[in-house]
Structure 1
Amino acid sequence: MHISKLAIHQLRCIDKLEFRPHPYCNIIVGENGCGKTSILEAIYLLGFGRSFRKSKTADLVQFGQSDLTVFAAAQSDYDSNEQFGIRKQRSGESEIKVRGRRAKRLSELSSQFPIISFTSDALDIIDSGPANRRRFIDWLVFHVKHNSDVADVYRQFDKVLEQRNEALKLGDDKQIKAWTPKFVELNLQIQSMRNEVLTELQSYVTQTYTQVESSKVNSKPRLEYKLGWNKESDLAEVLEKNRNFEIKRRSCNYGVHRDDIILLLDETPVKNILSRGESKRFVLALLLAAEQLLQAKTQKQCIWVLDDIAAELDYQSIENAFSIGKTQKNQMFFTCIEKDLAIIQQAINFEHAVFHVKHGKMLN
């Protein structure tokens, strides 16, 4: 699926902006602060309901306004244009439209738009804590295995974890024991899905890493799933054995909410050996692998948003990575400043459209 029309209202410096993107490649050009990154944020909202920046909803809504809206007409190989949209109040409340009808959950919209983001915070998946890596694998689980049950499993887990944590804070042994069986059940379901998707992702990472990092063709990237409890032990037994410890800590210390994905290159954690540029290319290979797995499993086309790409990657990396756009037929949105436009056009070297933005308005 690709976006055939995008309309943005009252998002940051954008009062009203509408345009018809190219189905494959779009380069959005403008000086810093002109609103080009806000266009990427609008697209990202369709897939995640939030910004890829570390911003609260209130920061996204234009000054003096109470809400923002993003509307998209989208088209696939099988369907004519269908309408999707999200309105977000300054308070954080959302109204969601899927195929022109009001939807109850954000997941109904997110499932239509697999968004892959490569922005200035891309290295968080390596440098930050386990939460970013869990978020990445759960996004992939959601799309690869998407059905109503998958989203429901995660919603139930969050609820049960909250209830069990509350019981631990109160030291309520009866409530702790009441919530534990369901907690264990949901943990094992999520563990199974994460493990399956991560195993499938591994074979794609090996291929995409060689493609992106051509100087390391003999290096082997590996993704290791680290469980949030001793993998040799039964979770129910771990929780029973450590109940008094958890009561003392007043929180659940064992479970998939403590999982991590260890990113390795030749059996060494990448954060210990790769330079900043090499780390960016490793992350890019990981994202390309995720896209290929998602397409193989669902036939969905991903939409890429890439902010200030010339500042994040060198010419050769852009050329190596996005040459596949000729065959993948995914839709990409690059932003850049004017002086980097020519080098990006040369690097991608396939059909594209260029849009110039100034003061929150599209000039062409």
Structure 2
Amino acid sequence: MPLVRLDISHVRNLASVRFEPSSQVNIIIGENGSGKTSVLEAIHLLSFGRSFRSHKHKTYIQHEQDSCLVFAQLHNEHGRPTPVGLQRHRDGQIEVRIQGERAQSVIELAERLPVQLINPDAFRLLEGSPSVRRQFIDWGVFHFDGSFIRAWRGWQKALKQRNTLLRRGKISPSLLAAFDQELIRLGEQVNGSRKAYVERLTPYFLQVLSVLNAELAVSLQFYQGWDSQKTLQMAVEAGRERDIELGYTHSGPQRADLRVKSAGGDALDTLSRGQQKLVVSALKIAQGQLLIEMGRPLVFLVDDLPAELDANHRQKLCRLLESLNSQIFITSVGPDTTDFTWADTTDVRHFSMNNGELSLSSKGFQES
């Protein structure tokens, strides 16, 4: 569902911003600190209920304000606008409304407004901890498999209960085994969904990467979190005594990882920063492409696109994004770095950001 209108109140230096973006390409030009990234942050907040810039909600609520608000009109499949909104209060409370009615959770927004982010911090997908890559997988599985979120929540609850028991100590393996059946059942379901998703995603990733750089050979390997030759039940049973000694569950889906390999080893260790950016961009675009082919339109947020990429690769990346027929928001510090050649049929709108105020730019910023 593309955004046909966006209202942002009290997000960082954006006191009050209202604009009607293109359903295709939107380019926001502004100096560092002008607020252009805050627009993307607000859209991300509306989808995820959290910022991609900080885990602390008080940092993005404008100073001396009790809350921030992001409201949007989404264009649904029937051609009618769907109003959605999220208000984050300084005390941490989140209020979500869809079509004027209070929603039970942010998940209902995530389902209606899938958002994919490509920004300088995307390198964390390669250099960050396995939890970052698990989040990447789980975002895709959430939209790919409707039963996943319920299984994931149940497994998380069972895992926390088990670890609480282990931290208390003095628990026998036989007593612990009585708590493990639900953990194993749901854990196997979570693992199966993740594995199936990575298998489905891989050919999309390889195809996108070949477009960005035909000479870059990279593979994806899914590590489930325990010996691949064993079932989860076998791994849990074999590790009970060790878990009691450690005080936590050491094997299972909570240790899953997506391993990105090049011919020379780990992609993080063998690829240049520019090549790493291409790999991460390919992963993000492939994930979006798979979702779109399932009939789920999404929004791409591209912050500081020129970073680490030359003009040739920026052009290739934009052509790929354009081919997905998705709504795209791109930020840049100057028009000279967004000199992309878009198709004549693509609706490209240029906006300028200055001290928290957004305005539609003239055709002067458009490509020649």
Q: Give me the TM-score of the superposition, normalised by structure 2.
A: 0.92
Q: How far is the alpha carbon of 1:175 from its aligned partner? A: 5.6
Indicate the residue corresponding to 1:282 in structure 2: 279
Question: Amino acid of the residue matched to residue 335 of structure 1?
Answer: T
1:356 equivalent to 2:357? Answer: no
- Letter in structure 2 aligned against 1:342: D
Q: Is the 8 A contact 1:306 1:333 kept in 2?
A: yes
Q: Which runs of 5+ in 2 are unaligned?
A: 361-368
- Structure-1 residue corresponding to 2:329: 333
Is 1:270 equivalent to 2:267 in the alignment? yes
CA shift at 1:342, angstroms? 3.3
- 1:283 to 1:325, Cα distance in 2 relative to 1, 3 A: closer
Tell me if 1:14 matches 2:14.
yes
User: Which amino acid is the alignment partner of residue 267 of structure 2?
Assistant: V
Between stretches 93-102 and 110-119, larger displacement belongs to 93-102
Q: Is the 8 A contact 2:292 2:324 kept in 1?
A: no
8 Å contact from structure 1 (residues 318, 347) kept in 2: no
Aligned counterpart, 1:162: 160
Distance 1:89 1:300, change over 3 A: same
> In the TM superposition, what are the counterparts of 1:131-210 in structure 2 within 5 Å?
131-145=131-145, 147=146, 149-171=147-169, 172-173=171-172, 176-210=176-210
Matched, 1:33 2:29: no
1:248 to 245, 248, 260: 245
Of 67-76 and 219-228, deviating more is: 219-228
**1:323 and 2:319 matched:** yes
The separation in 2 between residues aligned to 1:82 and 1:142, in whole angstroms, is 22
Identity %: 29
Q: Judge conservation of contact 2:318–2:340 (CA < 8 Å) in 1.
A: no
C-alpha change, 1:284 and 1:176, in structure 2 (3 Å) is same
The Cα shift of 1:136 comes to 0.2
Residue identity opposite 2:85 in structure 1: G
Q: Aligned residue pairs: how many?
A: 356
* Counterparts of 2:277 and 2:321, CA distance in 1: 19
Counterpart code for 1:170 = R
Normalising by structure 1, we get a TM-score of 0.93
Q: Which runs of 5+ in 1 are unaligned?
A: none
Say yes or no: does 1:344 pair with 2:344: no
C-alpha RMSD of matched pairs (Å): 1.6
More helix by share: 1
Aligned residues of 2:23 and 2:347 also touching (Cα < 8 A): no
Structure 2 residue aligned with 1:103? 103
Moved more, 265-274 or 111-120: 265-274
For 1:158 and 1:58, the matched residues in 2 are separated by 27
Partner of residue 365, structure 2: none
For 1:142 and 1:283, the matched residues in 2 are separated by 20
